[in-house]
Each structure stands twice: as C-alpha cells, then as structure tokens.
C-alpha cells in the first residue's frame, strides 16, 4: 500500500517572494510512512544507476540524500554553503533564485575519480544548486550518474538547464507542479 505523496506537500502562497507558491515538503519528512516511501522510490532509481555515493546540497538536500545513502548502504557527501567545511574543498558558485549569488563546496577527499554520484534535492527549481554541485563533482573526477528530486517545478525549466548541451543524465522527480 502506498500513500499519495501530494497529500504531504504544504503549499505556501507568496513565500519567499510575492507571487511565488512555495512547495514545502516538511509534512512529508515529518511522516514516517510518506518519508520512507519517497526515499525508497529514489533508492530503486539509484540502484539502477549503480551509484557509489549520494550528494545533496545544503540543507534540504541533506534530508533527502542522507536517508537514501543509509538505505543503499553507501556514503553521503554534503555540498555545503561556502566557508563551512573545515578541510580543503572545491567550490562552485551559482545564482540564487531570488537574486544574488552563493557558493557550494565539497571536501576534496569526499569523491574519488570515477565514482558514480547521484545528486538529490528536495525540489528542482531553476537548477542552479544542482549544476554547481555537478560542477564540483566533475572537478573532483566523479561521474554524475543521475539526479533525483521529490518535487520538480516544471515552469522554471530547471530540467533543461541541467540537461543542456550533451550533458543529459537520468532524472527522477517524484512529483511535478
């Protein structure tokens, strides 16, 4: 028996900016059944891709990626916001959805050349954080085996930005809005 994950998404109008409908997966994460179902659905996708590691951007990507890594018995690599990692790291910058720029970083020793990495996040909007995470993984010699999201906001065309050129990778979204 499965639940309809849509019932565990809270839609908040005009957040963080007027006119924006924010899709909040807190209710999904707070419910043991829905949370496990979502993680397990992504785990099936990850197994098909033979991934060695899960990576997720700070900080909601941690809540999707770390249980997934646990479920697959593999490691989790956080892509942290700039200046937070204590050891030597590789970084990439990206434009914020609502203006400004940010930096993500991954420890240099977190990914070995040739390792297959699945990037996950709670929500795909414009794709900026995902492309920055991908850039770092590839600088470290890793292979982005795929990308997965709980929610994809189709109107923002993040999928096209991730896939542009010859950079197509397998992608899973559990829900689209």
Q: Does the protein bind a copy of itself through residue 39 (CB under 8 A)?
A: yes
Contact by Cβ (8 Å): 120, 147:
yes
Nearer to a copy of itself, 123 or 162 (CB): 123
134 CA to centre of own chain: 10
Residue range at the interface with a copy of itself (CB under 8 A); choices 34-42, 133-141, 153-161, 168-176? 34-42
Q: DSSP string covering 112-127, please? A: -TT-EEEEEEEEESSS
Q: Coil, helix or strand for 17?
A: coil
Nearer to a copy of itself, 80 or 159 (CB): 80
- What x-and-dash track marks residues 42-81 binding a copy of itself by CB under 8 A? -----------x----xx--xx--xx-xxxxxxxxxx-x-
Please list, in sequence order, all residues whose beta carbon lies within 8 angstroms of the beta carbon of residue 167, skipping any fewer than 6 positions away: none
Q: Does the protein bind a copy of itself through residue 148 (CB under 8 A)?
A: no
Q: Does the protein bind a copy of itself through residue 103 (CB under 8 A)?
A: no
Nearer to a copy of itself, 87 or 100 (CB): 87
Q: Does the protein bind a copy of itself through residue 33 (CB under 8 A)?
A: yes
> Measuring CA to CA, how many Å separate 51 from each of 31, 33, 47, 80, 110?
27, 25, 7, 21, 14
Contact by Cβ (8 Å): 11, 24:
yes
Question: How many CB atoms lie under 10 A from the CB of residue 79?
Answer: 29
Binding site for a copy of itself (CB under 8 A): 10, 12, 15-16, 22, 24, 26-27, 29-33, 35-36, 39, 53, 58-59, 62-63, 66-67, 69-78, 80, 85-87, 107, 109-110
């Amino acid at each position: 028996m499965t639940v309809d994950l849509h019932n565990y998404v809270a839609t908040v109008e005009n957040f963080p900016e007027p006119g924006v409908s924010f899709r909040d997966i807190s209710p999904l994460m707070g419910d043991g059944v829905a949370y496990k179902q979502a993680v397990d659905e992504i785990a099936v996708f990850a197994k098909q891709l033979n991934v060695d590691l899960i990576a997720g951007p700070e900080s909601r990507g941690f809540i999707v990626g770390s249980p997934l890594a646990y479920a697959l018995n593999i490691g989790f690599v956080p892509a942290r916001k700039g200046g937070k990692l204590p050891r030597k790291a590789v970084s990439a910058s990206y434009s914020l959805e609502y203006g400004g720029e940010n930096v993500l970083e991954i420890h240099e020793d977190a990914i070995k050349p040739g390792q297959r990495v699945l990037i996950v996040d709670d929500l795909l909007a414009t794709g900026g954080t995902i492309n920055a995470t991908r850039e770092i993984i590839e600088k470290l010699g890793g292979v982005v085996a795929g990308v997965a999201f709980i929610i994809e906001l189709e109107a923002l065309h993040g999928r096209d930005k991730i896939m542009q050129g010859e950079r197509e990778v397998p992608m899973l979204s559990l829900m689209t809005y």
